[in-house]
Amino acid sequence: MMSTGNHRAGATAAPPRPWLPRLWLAALVCLAGGTTAKPVTVADLLARSPAADWRTPDPENTLYLELERGRVVIELASRVAPVHVANIRALARAHYFDGLAIVRVQDDYVVQWDDQTHRRPVPSQVHPSVEFTAVAGADARFQVLPDRDVYAPEVGFLDGFPAARDPRSHLVWLAHCYGMVGAGRDDPPESDATEMYAVIGHAPRQLDRNVALVGRVLQGMELLSSLPRGSGEMGFYTSSEAPVPIRSARLAADVPKAQRTPIEVLRTDSATFRAVLDQRRERHEPWFKFSPGRIDLCNVPLPVRAVHPDHLNL
């Protein structure tokens, strides 16, 4: 994991190990798995996955944020936050974000983009709303993760996004994991998605149910997370720091097919995803001496893969 694969020469004898590794468990699984002793990796699982375990995000729910350094691909949670996603479609189609900038990069927290001048006209189709929890019907689509959570009674997945649920109230909401995208707001709580942010640090789950999450970065996350941090309060860029220009924000549906990013996402209701979860909980790789046995919602990989354009049904 941390290793380069090269074992340093000259290592002296090791002191006694102060713990009992769970290697017997790994050994058992390896034996059960077949003739090879090599434990299965996530890469193995993805390589052997059937095509049906993958889905192509809807171009109407895919936003391309074009920066000078490249494209950030965002999948929009249209069934969870339909008003905000309709707003984002209207804003993108009005070219509202074009020429705006990333104005805030706060370390271990968020990247934010909006119109700091508040001078841009907002299309009349854009309506402020409160969508902190998913609209009715989400409960039936929620896939429970059996692992514990610090903040919510239950966690899991909703439409492919990390989510949480209160089984008493039947409320479901998206979770502020790394790479999630939300609609910033002031107080009162309505937001309209003219201000957007992406999480670039340890999951700020205290924001759950306090802001509308509207999607997730599928590709290009490093273009946001590696931006220089702003030196102003809350990570805002000051006048001496150049904001990061947004060339444009477009729905994939509005981009010529040849210019779209051919991408597929692993279905969270697939057998491959369940196998990935098991692998990540137990970590049978020999490098691991202590099996975590559990997984944090925001540590669950949500695999995305590039596909050859000819094989993509866009």
> Of residues 20-79, which lie at the interface with a second copy (CB under 8 A)?
none
Q: Closest distance between a second copy and the C-beta of residue 77, in Å? A: 16
184 touches a second copy (CB under 8 A): yes
Fill in the per-residue mask, 117 to 156: x = in contact with a second copy (CB under 8 A), - = not in contact: -x---x----xxxx-xx-------------xxxxx-----
Q: Closest distance between a second copy and the C-beta of residue 182, in Å? A: 7
> How many Cα neighbours within 13 Å face the side chain of 291?
19
Q: How many residues bind a second copy (CB under 8 A)?
A: 86
Strand, helix or coil for residue 112 = strand
Q: Which of 61, 87, 194, 268 touches a second copy (CB under 8 A)?
A: 194
The DSSP line for 138-165 is HHHH-EEE-S--SS-SEEEEETTEEEEE
Residue 223 CB: number of other CB atoms within 10 A?
19
- Rounded CA separation 116/194 (Å): 10
Q: Closest distance between a second copy and the C-beta of residue 303, in Å? A: 14
Between 5 and 34, CB nearer to a second copy: 5
Residues 6+ apart with CB under 8 A from 291: 22, 25, 26, 281, 282, 283, 284
98 touches a second copy (CB under 8 A): no
Which residues 208-247 are close enough to bind a second copy by CB under 8 A?
208-211, 221-222, 225-229, 236
Q: Closest distance between a second copy and the C-beta of residue 119, in Å? A: 11
Write phi, then psi, for 312 (nearest 5 degrees).
Answer: -100, 130
Stretch that binds a second copy, among 46-54, 56-64, 88-96, 207-215 (CB under 8 A): 207-215
- Rounded CA separation 211/187 (Å): 11
- Rounded CA separation 266/56 (Å): 9
6 touches a second copy (CB under 8 A): yes
What's the Cα-to-Cα distance from 148 to each of 116, 144, 185, 208, 298, rounded to whole Å? 40, 11, 30, 16, 12
- In this structure, are residues 246 and 92 in contact, taking their beta carbons and an 8 Å threshold? no
Between 174 and 250, CB nearer to a second copy: 174
Between 134 and 249, CB nearer to a second copy: 134
Secondary structure element (H or E) that encloses residue 113, with its range? strand 110-114
Q: Which of 60, 107, 254, 269 touches a second copy (CB under 8 A)?
A: 107
Between 3 and 313, CB nearer to a second copy: 3
Q: Closest distance between a second copy and the C-beta of residue 121, in Å? A: 10
